Amino acid sequence: MQSSNEMCTTGAMRAIDSLLETLAKLIDDNEKKLDHIRYLTLKIKQTLTTQEKARKKLLDEPDYIPILLITLQTVPDVQVLLNITSSIDELLVGGKRSISTLLARQATITQVLIDALVRASKFHSQDELIVILVTLLCKLGAKDKKINVKARLSGLLDILANLLKQNTTNYKVLQPILHLIKLLAVKSLNLIGLGKAGTITALLRIISGCGNRHILTLRSCLTILSRLVQNKNNAIMTVNQNGIATMMDLAISWHKADIRNKQVLLRKSVFATLKSLTFTKIGKRKFAESNGFRVVYQLCMDSCELKVLDNLVTIGTQILRRCYPEVSLPITNLNNPVQFNPGLYDENTRVDESRNAYGYLDHNDEQDNDNEDSASDSDGDYEDIDDTGTSCQPSDNEDVDGLQSSEQVVPKITRSEEDLRESYQSFLPELEMINGNDDQLHNRLDIITDLNDSLEKIATSYEKSSSKDKNVYAGNVSGSLISQESGNSTINDFVKQQNLKLGHKIDIDSFVSRGDTTNIVNESLTTKSVMPFTEIPMPELFGHSSPELAEPLLERKSVVLRKKILLDIERVIFPEKIMSDVVYDLDLSIRSGFNATAKESLKILESRQTETEIPQLNFNSRFECGNLRKVIRVRRQEYDLLLNPDINTKQHHQWFYFEVRNMLKGIRYQFNIINCIKNNSQFNYGMQPVFYSTYDAINKGIGWIRAGSNICYYKNYFPRTAAAGGGGIKSYYTMSFVIEFPHDDDTCFLAYHYPYTFSTMKVHLECIGKVAASNSIYFRSQELCSTLKGNICKLLTVTNYPSNGRRNDERYVPIEKRPYIVLSARVHPGESNSSWVMKGLLDFITSDDDYATLLRDSYIFKIIPMLNPDGVINGCHRCSLSGHDLNRCWISPDSQVHPTIYHMKGLIQYMVTIGKSPLVFCDFHGHSRRKNVFTYACHPYTNSNQRAEDQMLRALPKAIQEVSPIFSYQSCSFAVEKSKESTARVVLWKELYILRSYTMESTYCGMDQGIYKGYQVNTTALEDMGKNFCKGLLKMKDLPIRKIHSKNRLSIQASSDREAISKDDNNVVEINPRDSAVTFELHIPNETQILSVGSDIGDSSSSTESDELAYDC
């Protein structure tokens, strides 16, 4: 027997069948009995409310739901509509499954409900019906993909807007209506329709009436409004209806009421709406008129220290930055104030007719040169991180002895063989040794070298004697003012100069000089610049010694950026607190004829006597490699700095190098470089500028170190026009940092990266020449060509003398069989890290190290250590004096406009024509947006021999990876892009078929892999990279090399979790980075135990900034 419950259930199911069948007959009857229909629909509602199985049966039966929908469509009675909609609502008690089932059975149900809501809106005082219809549409509409189209075509948007207007204080009805509008306010057409229907007016009225109550309603209104104002017309409409003032009043009200920060999401919605409103010009204007700067600034200042309000402060600072009034850079002309006229009048040369007699810009001319060469990107990062070419994943094979493809094809030689021979035969003097007697050649070359040295000394002496009567401005020869007066400068002259700057005497005996100071003075005086220099910087005189401990990457703090932006906003809110005193102006110095040094020194002494608070800092950049155009003191301890663009351009503001004096110890000075152009920088990811204290150099032997805190890089409010190379970037960027000087009245220097000047290179080449001579190394330094300004571009040749006695040594390569390695650096002047790598390489290959000896026995090196001396000397970042990026001129360089590129390419072409094609070409560069050191190369030439060529191509980067702890093979790229076709790497690969044609990029910042992960790069690491590049060449030659322990200056104060790095692989030796670094020992082939080098790849995870980037070359 059935239980009583089962009997009741069965009876209910039978009843629902009967009720629906009867209802269907009544609807079909032309003479509908309204009372009977009301009764039937009520009974259906009651049955569904109490019986779950009845609800399930109704959902499962395909013929029953249409009966309810037809009733809803055809019976215009409020009670019937209530009963039917309540019944449908009961069917949805099961949640998402019930909704999905109902939509699957009846796809038109949402349209029926929309039509019912349209009809119900015409009834008066039927809130209950409207609420239930809107609720049903919210539930079903969330699963209906076509709900937005249905609502728009049915006129529902207008109905909802009217319902809002009619129920601005009826919160019981408002909440479901707002929920439905929020569901529909996602498509652009719906946003427009809601705006036109008057939704915004109703929302603002509701928001004003909510106050600090009705939180759910207020939050829904703000969410909808923030979506609506994403449409420009809606935003303008909201602004015109006093929407900005409403939002600011609401923000202030909730800031005071929400003491415990429980309504952060609501407050965030207010700011998000305000942010969207300020996208329009009228919105920005109304924001300023409504005292928006003060309001939002104060709210952000009050919330800045609370982590829970981070998102709120972030949006607030974005609003302030967007609304900041556009202000032009505080300079009269975007061009570099120093312009150079090369005297060439061809299509590749720009000549500025507005220069005065000295060749400098006339600042009365307000016209900007709109004919800038914009062929290259302004920021100079030209290699993409995510290349679409050949995969750069490591290969297990290292077959590097295959034939080069150049033996199978005809290179493209653009000059005649006779021209090449006449121009460059003298640059391969080592070929004379091939068939000659070793001893006779050795003596003959020594005599030639001595004769050249004597001639150089005579020429130098002549230049010194003639410089007494030479007009330094007419010749544009650099040197200090003291040197111009005395003619023969000594170290004592510069000590006097330093005493004048500091205001007290320095004992010359306390100088700690790193090298021959007399030589650096002499070389500096013979260096030719466009602008006369006023001094030789102290780092040149007292040298540099890398710190013993590696310096960690600076931790990034988001609160720093917000505070700096808020400080910028104070300039609008409290203009009376801004000083705006120009303390350094290169433009003014140029117009005054460079004779202001003595007057400046007197002003310094006077300022010390008159200022009772913090004295004004004094700046200078009129020295070799210096770059600083203007300094404005905006607060007692804060200065805005502007950099020079490259000469003959309006772009490339990145490299800086300047002197600071008259400081006080313990004061936190803030420097803001306000005309940077890259849209991101490693300064946001742990990099610090470099700092040099003359006092510490003299007394402690400390050279350049990383310094600065509170560093951030962000978009500022100075617009960058198309004439300044703005392109898609519409604003300049600010690089801001705080510096605390260690001593009073010191002479300090700050730079983007460790400077390496042309004069320093000349002294270094002289030193290694002496070392090479003492080690009986074949070392020749020749003048490849002169630059536009008349400086010398040096070509070095390094190898070992031939030795008949060693021909039986299996490791010795006869000179006639030695392949050539061609290397170059510093084609981009601001990439000083490439010069430090080159310095380390030169020091190594001219040393008596066993590896270096083997290297010279194996190869002949042709090296151009500085391809762009003029740019280096004059503080440029990327271009030469012609205003061209020399690494984009390799296809057809001009002999007069691009002499160094023209002659280097010609030399390599000559080597190819005589069968001495380089085995390896590598151009050393610096990369401003990536960490580690890595290479860019091209891809194999042919498909038929692709595997062998690919292995040869990858051999050198893989070999360097094995011997260098800061090299990242994962970051290497082997692809050729069309935009790189005019670079050295691609042109030599494409035209001369040099397969192993590389660009090696060194970071400005630091490392994110291996034992040095988390540390900034320094000069020791860069010099070691040059040495390890050489060891990679040996490894590529398949000579066994192994890792050993050795003390090194680049030791690390590692955290406890990084004190020891070991691997399970038996081929890798355990390394403790605290007291040792990786060095290498020559391996004797006859040893019984051979240790191969393991690859210490380290952590290959990319840094968080890598998605922004990246191109450098």
Token output for 1100: 């290959």
Which residues, listed in sequence order, are joined to residue 1071 by a DSSP beta bridge? 1061
Helices 558-573, 292-303: inter-axial angle, 10-degree rounding: 150
DSSP code of residue 471: -
Question: 272 preceded by cis ω (within 30°)?
Answer: no
- Cβ atoms of residues 898 and 886 within 8 Å: yes
Q: Count Cβ atoms within 10 A of the Cβ of residue 1064 and give its class: 0-12 exposed, 13-18 middle, 19 or more buried.
A: exposed
Query: Residue written as tokens 């030193």?
Result: 767
Q: Alpha-carbon torsion 446, 448, 454, 459, what sign?
A: negative
Q: Would residue 1001 show up in a list of annotated catalytic residues for this protein? A: yes
- Cβ atoms of residues 288 and 323 within 8 Å: yes
Q: Alpha-carbon torsion 1075, 1081, 1083, 1087, what sign?
A: negative
- Cβ atoms of residues 933 and 964 within 8 Å: yes
Catalytic residue among 1001, 1081, 1105, 1108: 1001
Q: Count Cβ atoms within 10 A of the Cβ of residue 850 and give its class: 0-12 exposed, 13-18 middle, 19 or more buried.
A: exposed
Residues in the chain: 1113
Residue 757: name the closest of 846, 663, 876 by CA.
Answer: 876
User: Beta strand 933-937 with 997-1003: parallel, antiparallel or unpaired?
Assistant: antiparallel
Token output for 131: 């609420």
Say which amino acid occupies 1046. Answer: S
H/E stretch holding 822 reads strand 820-825
Q: b or e along 211-229 (b: 16 or more beta carbons within 10 Å of the residue's beta carbon)?
A: eeebeebbbbbbbbbbbbb
User: Beta strand 920-927 with 820-825: parallel, antiparallel or unpaired?
Assistant: parallel
Which residues, listed in sequence order, are joined to residue 641 by a DSSP beta bridge? 631, 673
Residues 6+ apart with CB under 8 A from 775: 846, 847, 848
* Strand order from edge to edge, sheet including 709-719: 581-585, 630-635, 638-642, 668-676, 731-740, 709-719
Token output for 516: 């021959």
- Cβ atoms of residues 117 and 133 within 8 Å: yes
- Cβ atoms of residues 54 and 12 within 8 Å: yes
Q: d(Cα 525, Cα 483) in Å, to the nearest integer?
A: 8
Token output for 56: 């399930």
Report CA-CA distances (Å) from 341 to 29, 78, 142, 451.
100, 89, 69, 36
**Residues identified as active-site:** 1001
